[in-house]
């Protein structure tokens, strides 16, 4: 999730546009890809938020907000932690390795 958020930050998008050059078709394509990335990240953040918030009951507790809006109005990963029986088991600072089976 953090990698996806890094790809949609305004500086990263601008760097990609600069690296493409002056070809208007490629510039338009890059802008469309960036918009699709932003929509995808926004959807994923909402999905993760629903999953984590749905486990909040009984012994489970969620502190903080998973999706938050930054100053530009874009969604980003907020500061949060998930606890079970008083022990923190997941935070927004944790890094995950994809399961490859």
Domain count, the chain: 1
Token duo for residue 43: 């959807």
Closest listed residue to residue 68, CA positions, set 41, 89, 94:
41
Mean pLDDT, to the nearest integer, of 67-81? 79
Q: What local confidence, expressed as pLDDT, does residue 42 receive? A: 82
Give the domain range for residue 35: 2-91
Q: Is residue 57 part of a domain?
A: yes
C-alpha distances in Å from residue 77, one per residue of 44, 74, 80? 10, 10, 9
Q: Quickly state the pLDDT bin for 95 (edges 50, 70, 90).
A: low
User: For residues 24 and 39, what is the distance between their CA atoms, to the nearest angstrom?
Assistant: 23
Beta-bridge mates of residue 81: 63, 91
Q: Is residue 99 part of a domain?
A: no
Token duo for residue 96: 């995950």
Q: Is residue 20 part of a domain?
A: yes
Count CB atoms within 10 A of the CB of residue 98: 5
pTM: 0.54
Token duo for residue 37: 């990335």
Q: Is residue 101 part of a domain?
A: no
């Amino acid at each position: 999730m953090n990698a996806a958020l890094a790809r949609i930050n305004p500086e990263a998008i601008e760097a990609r546009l600069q690296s493409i050059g002056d070809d208007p078709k490629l510039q338009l394509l890059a802008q469309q890809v960036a918009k699709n990335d932003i929509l995808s990240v926004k959807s994923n953040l909402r999905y993760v938020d629903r999953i984590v918030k749905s486990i909040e009951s009984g012994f489970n507790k969620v502190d903080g907000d998973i999706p938050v809006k930054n100053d530009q109005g874009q969604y980003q990963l907020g500061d949060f932690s998930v606890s079970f029986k008083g022990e923190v088991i997941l935070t927004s600072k944790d890094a995950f390795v994809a399961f490859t089976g």
